[in-house]
Every structure is written in C-alpha cells, then in structure tokens.
Amino acid sequence: MPSLSPTMKTGKLAKWLVKKGDKIYPGDIICEIETDKAIMEFESVDEGVVHEILISEGTENIKVNSPILNILIDCDGGAPAPILPEKNFVEIEKESSDPAISSFAPTEEKVCGQDFPVSSPLARRLAKEHSIDLSSVSGSGPRGRIVKNDIEQLILHNTGVKHASTVQSASIESINTSVDDDIMRLFAPNSYEIIPHDNMRKTIASRLQQSKQTIPHFYVSIDCNIDNLLSLRQQMNLFAQSHKKENINKISVNDVILKAFSLAMLQVPEANVSWTTNALIRHKNIDISVAVSIPGGLVTPIVRQVNKRSISDISLEVKQLVQRAKQRKLKPQEYQGGTTSVSNMGMFGISNFCAVINPPQSTILAIGAGVQKPIFQNGAIKVVTIMNATLSADHRSVDGAVASKLLAKFKEYIENPAWMLL
C-alpha cells in the first residue's frame, strides 16, 4: 500500500485493474487507491506477471506499506521469482565454545529482543520522551522503518496519535460504541438508518474539530457593490463569444473574486501567513484553496499563484480542478499546501455565513449571494447589487487591523474590477 500523501496512514483498495496471470510493465496502472480526499491510480514500478492478489477490492483501512500484491519477475530467463514482502535481518553473533558462527534471524516486529516496531534509536528516544506509542506510527523509512522525521512530524502537527499512557484501542472502541448506543436509544427503533463514516467524512470531522478547538477564530464582514463586476464579467463573456475565443472559458463571479482576493492579499502580505509554535510563516506565493462540494463531503483544490494569472486562466484552472474533484481524481499536490481559502455559497442563495479555517492556513473568505438592495447615493435612492464577504481569521497570527485592511482592499478591487486588468 503506497503512501500517496504526507498525512496518509491507511487507504482503501477501491478497484483492481489487473488479475492473476496478467503481464504488467513499469508505468502500467494496476489499481485505484482511495484516500480521504481522492481516488488515485497506482502505477507498477516492475515488469512481471501478477502472481497473487493479497487484498480484495473494497477493503478499507489498509496500513501504508502493507503488501497488497505479489508479482513474478523473470530471473535471467529462468523460472519467475515472486516479489514478496521483504523481511529485515540482523546478524547475531553467538559466544560459545563452538567456533564463531554468524547467522541471520528475521526481526519482524522486534529488534534485539525489544518489543517495538522496527525503528531507529533516535526515533525510539523521541517517542519515549513524548510518550508516543510506536505501534501507532507508520514509518517512512526503508521497509516501513520508523525514523526521526516520522516522530517529529507527529509532534509538530499534533495529529493525535495514541500515547503509551492512554487506554488500549479496544477500550476506546467500547467507549465509542457505548456513546453511539446512548444516542441511538433516544430514537424509536426502525426510525433511522445507519450510514457508516467513510475516510473522507472522518477526515473532515477530525480537521474541523481540530480547527475550532485549537484556532481562536474571529470574524470581520463587509458589503460590496458588485454592479461594476457583473458588467465587466458580461463584457468579457460577450467578447469571448463574439470573437469565438475557444480557449477562453465563460467567466464566473467566483473567478473574479479569486483574482480580487489574491490582489488584496498581495497588498496585505501580513495576512498571508501560517501559525506554528515557534515561528510565523509568511508565504511568498498566494495559493488559494477553493471549497468544492462533492457527494459525501468537501474538498479544497488549489489554484496556485492566483495573483499572477489572468481571470480567464483562473477560470479554466478552476473548472478543471472542480471536474477532477467531483471525480475524486485529485492528486495530493492539487489539494495540499494552499495559503488561504475561499468558500462561496452564493449559488445557494445564502446571504452571509462564517467559514471554518483550514489549518495551517490563517484565513478563509466566505462569499454570499448578490442581493439587490436600495442605497442612498448622491442625494438619491438607487438599487444596487450587494454581496457580503466575511473573513474568518486566526487571531494568533492575524490581528484585527490586518484582517480589516485585507477586506477593505478586497472591496476596492471588487467595486473597481477594471483595476484587476492593469
């Protein structure tokens, strides 16, 4: 089972694309792996014949580095040799009256008689210092060996691994089952159905809970007149249509919003940051995660360096990312590493809302629907289209004045969209 992202610990074998006896070559797609965010194709790195499929389709929670398939390779024209899960070996020196004999013994889950997974001495020391149970850690070293970086990443990101001082997993499961039973007893029998959580829903729940429990959110809102924006958008789409510009997509309001937010962030770089325990990370790029609703959950594909791209280019990129997101075909690099986010619920008629920050980002912009409202301007009442924008910010890394300045700049670009074309 491959590790398809830095945070992946387990995966689901969604579909086999080969069967026993098939000849495969490097680069051939052999199966589809489902992570918490996407379904990804897994390529073979060897040439050979499928000998045995070890894991059946639909199996969930397969640990990273667990064997899923055996293949046979041709050994210099002789009988094919199976590629089987490797075992680690350590040399044992025996002290006895007999001549010195060197032998090899499999380490499997123990090293030198110690009861812990295969790991480096430094990793074991760090794990002991931070009360981390090594059996809950997936190693990134050769053959799944746990190395120093694995432990440091867990400590840095506080991913909630099982600690040696916690109760055993069986006890945790029984507690969870008891809680579920208490909830279910509140409802009449046969009045509901049970829908098990899939990996995506579990991840969404975990990250949002982590965000609200660890990030001190605060919110600032502003109303924007989008009449000029709507007019510019209409002109751009009419131009593309009349000149038969096949490489220009129909531009949406959200495409213009992404451009405006990126330019505002460029003007207020102190908002383009991430909080860590020891330092503040100020990002040089403005990479915006776009919230996309898909069946069963939410994904946030990223448009990179938005401030440097044209609105038509942004539009094309967003459409391609949304299509792949709905097919659950996003690659990890397409949804990991954004510096801020935009969530637009205007298409559902929602006038305003507050979004939850996606850590380690410090901001997320929530966009509501454009609503026609009367305003008093130049001594007269006129009807304009007003769009509300609400910024959620991490108060550890972004001060109120910075958030207010960012929203004010965003409003300037939205109400004067021609500035974005300069």
pLDDT for 285-313, tens place per residue? Answer: 999 999 999 988 899 999 999 999 999 99
| pLDDT score recorded for residue 179 | 59
pLDDT for 97-129, tens place per residue? Answer: 443 333 333 333 343 334 456 666 567 767 777
| pLDDT score recorded for residue 306 | 97
C-alpha–C-alpha distance, residues 202 and 196, integer Å: 10
| pLDDT score recorded for residue 74 | 66
Residue 21 Rama label (left phi>0; alpha psi -120 to 50; beta): left
| pLDDT score recorded for residue 339 | 98
CB 61 within 8 A of CB 45: no
| pLDDT score recorded for residue 176 | 54
Nearby residues of 303 by Cβ (< 8 Å), 6 or more positions away: 258, 287, 288, 290, 309, 314, 317, 318, 321
- The domains located in the chain, with CATH, are 10-83 (2.40.50.100), 94-157 (4.10.320.10), 204-421 (3.30.559.10)
DSSP 420: G
Residues recognised as catalytic: 395
Q: Which of 87, 80, 3 is nearest to 47 (CA)?
A: 80
Rg (CA), the chain: 27
| pLDDT score recorded for residue 52 | 92
Residue 103: other Cβ atoms inside 10 A: 9
CB 91 within 8 A of CB 77: no
Q: How many helices (H) and strands (E) does the chain have?
A: 8, 20
CB 408 within 8 A of CB 389: no
Residue ranges in the chain modelled with pLDDT below 70:
6, 74-122, 125, 141-143, 156-179, 244-248
Any idea how long the chain is? Answer: 422
Does the N-terminal peptide bond of residue 360 adopt cis geometry, omega within 30 degrees of 0?
yes
C-alpha–C-alpha distance, residues 173 and 177, integer Å: 6
List beta partners, residue 303. Answer: 288
Instruction: Look up the pTM and report it.
Output: 0.64
